[in-house]
Structure 1
Amino acid sequence: MKAIRYYEYGGPEVLRYDQDVSEPALARDALLIEAEATSVNPHDWKARSGALRAHFPIEFPHIPGFDVSGIVRAVGKDVQSFRIGDRVLAMAKATYAELVVTAAATVARLPEGLDPADAAALPTVVLTGDQLINSELKVTAGQTVLVTGALGSVGRAAIHAANTAGARVIAGVRGRQLGEAAALQVAGSVAIDDADEIATLGKIDAVADMIGRDLAPSLLALVRPGGHYGYASRIPDGTAERFPDVSVSRVFGTPNADTLYRFAEDFRDGRFSLPISARMPLHDAGEAHARLAAGGGGKIVLTMR
């Protein structure tokens, strides 16, 4: 099969389009998916660069990727819920490839009428955003939640999850993005690069932070005692210890077929919006990594054909 692999850490140029890669082995509880598309996430290029090697070591050669949409080509002996030919999408591993194997329990059916290439943009970001809101922050109806990085893919998913939970959502964006944020389905927006504006929020129930880093302390200071701060990036060492009355946790998105299917339906029906900036062939993965690392907006989808 054809796949993107890299054999060492480095820039986008280390990504190789290998055309004779061994097919993955099918386990008893798994599906073999003939991929139609995958998508690029920030983790992909950060891992490739070596920036994450301390926490996410890689064995070379490595096939990147966590998102896949496609058609079931083979079914493990213990799987009863899928048949060959079913259209599916999933959060998996090694998805920059024509064939992907993943546990059947983590796979969602592709909602009828949803473009498979568009669907490939969803798994990692929607599961991360939803789990941040529901698993880490445990948001409930009536609470006020600040979502930073609100115009990003995970931020948009977190907003949708919080709205679904009945929360009052405030979008945190940079001052120059306030106009764009006005189109989001939120109660209001705040410039997170303006300390005075952040202070106007007063105490809130929860923060879903996609930015982290040096912004984290000022956001934690907003959270009421007993409230929650969840983050999907990194925060400075020792930050959480400065706020003992706030529950602090980090989210790592994990597969969940039911949640993924629900988001896919909402995306198809226009209840959830996720901008897709480009579709590119798999062999252009290096260019896609370079674009994403440069800060281009929207998801980039890689198609197999």
Structure 2
Amino acid sequence: MKAVVLHEYGGPDKLKWEDVDDPKIGENDLLVRLSASSVNPVDYKMRSGAAKERFPVEFPGIIGRDVSGIVREVGSKVTGFEPGDKVMALANHTYAELVVVPAAEAAHVPEGLDVVEAAALPLVTLTGERLITLGTKIQAGQTVLVAGATGGVGRSAVWTAKKAGATVIAGVRKKQLKEAAEIGADEVLALDDDEAMEKLGFIDAVADAVGGETAEMLIGKVKQGGIFASVVGLPSNAKMHPTVHVELVRAKPDVAALETLAADVLAGKFKIPIDRMIPLEDAGEGQAAAEKGGIGKVLLVG
């Protein structure tokens, strides 16, 4: 098969389109013919070496976390899947024409959802869902501010919090206010507007997908006993707010949650914008575009 292979850490040009051996499946796995993968921040951080402490690459390596495609082979102990099924998953080594996915971590693509577009969903929707359910643990009637609300993780967090019955404030930059007004939050707040931030009272929780100075500012807006949850690392001043509970959240495969979120996307309850679709072999170009920020999902089509 063909795959995008990384031989050393570096820039987007280090991603090489090469021939590699077909992967072998185990008795509990699926072999999936890739329809698409997508570009996530963790992908280009793995490529550059910025994430090597948490996600080291064994060279030569294949990176990528999202996959959607068609089942080609089914392991001997697998039930519920057969060749030809359309599936999606949060997996590993997905920048390749063939991807091995544990059957227990594969979700069926709902009828009516394009199998290529399904590749935009696994990592960001599961991360946003966990940021709310496991991170903030927000309850009906409480108020949560989602920082980075127009991104894929943020949109998923906003929708999950609304489903829980919370009041949701979408925290964005001034230039994103118009876009944020369309994602279903109860309020929209410019995090880079000092006057607007001064007017923000204490809230029950923050769901952070931004980090940095923004996170350091927002933790001070959480009431005593409230929760600051993040997917990008805890604020450096967290110890200065001992009455605030802090939670660091990471995405993990969750078939039931992914299938529910995909059904919600199909029903138009929320969306993950797709900026462009490019061939898998041009993954370096796709990562370069995504790394600049300010765009929707980049899909790598196999």
- Does TM-score exceed 0.5, indicating one fold? yes
Q: Given residue 2 of structure 1, which amino acid in structure 2 is its aligned partner?
A: K
Partner of 1:165 in structure 2? 164
Superposed displacement of residue 234, structure 1: 2.9
Partner of 1:263, secondary structure, is: helix
Partner of 1:104 in structure 2? 103
User: How far apart are the structure 1 equivalents of 2:235 and 2:181?
Assistant: 30
Partner of 2:88 in structure 1? 89
Equivalent pair of 2:132/2:161 in contact (CA under 8 Å): yes
Q: Runs of 5+ in structure 1 lacking a partner?
A: none
Partner of 1:285 in structure 2? 283
Equivalent pair of 1:127/1:253 in contact (CA under 8 Å): yes
User: How far apart are the structure 2 equivalents of 1:184 and 1:49?
Assistant: 32
Superposed displacement of residue 123, structure 1: 0.3
Superposed displacement of residue 287, structure 1: 0.6
1:102-181 mapped onto 2 (5 Å cutoff): 102-181=101-180
Q: Given residue 14 of structure 2, which amino acid in structure 1 is its aligned partner?
A: V
**1:95-140 deviation digits (Å, cap 9, x = unpaired):** 0111111211111101001101110000000000000000111111
Q: Given residue 14 of structure 1, which amino acid in structure 2 is its aligned partner?
A: K
Matched, 1:198 2:197: yes
Given candidates 237, 240, 243, the residue that maps to 2:241 is 243
Equivalent pair of 2:148/2:154 in contact (CA under 8 Å): yes
Superposed displacement of residue 296, structure 1: 3.8
Q: Given residue 301 of structure 2, which amino acid in structure 1 is its aligned partner?
A: T
TM value normalised by structure 2 = 0.97
Partner of 2:254 in structure 1? 256
The root-mean-square deviation of aligned C-alpha atoms, in Å, is: 1.1
Superposed displacement of residue 93, structure 1: 0.3
Partner of 1:267 in structure 2? 265
**1:228-268 deviation digits (Å, cap 9, x = unpaired):** 1111113454x222111111011111111111111111111
Equivalent pair of 1:214/1:235 in contact (CA under 8 Å): no
Q: Given residue 253 of structure 2, which amino acid in structure 1 is its aligned partner?
A: P
Q: Given residue 9 of structure 2, which amino acid in structure 1 is its aligned partner?
A: Y
Give the total of aligned pairs.
302
Partner of 1:68 in structure 2? 67
Superposed displacement of residue 148, structure 1: 0.7
User: How far apart are the structure 1 equivalents of 2:249 and 2:194?
Assistant: 26
**1:48-80 deviation digits (Å, cap 9, x = unpaired):** 111112232211111111111111111112211
TM value normalised by structure 1 = 0.96
Partner of 2:40 in structure 1? 41
Superposed displacement of residue 290, structure 1: 0.6
User: How far apart are the structure 2 equivalents of 1:103 and 1:195?
Assistant: 48
Q: Runs of 5+ in structure 2 lacking a partner?
A: none
Equivalent pair of 1:3/1:97 in contact (CA under 8 Å): yes
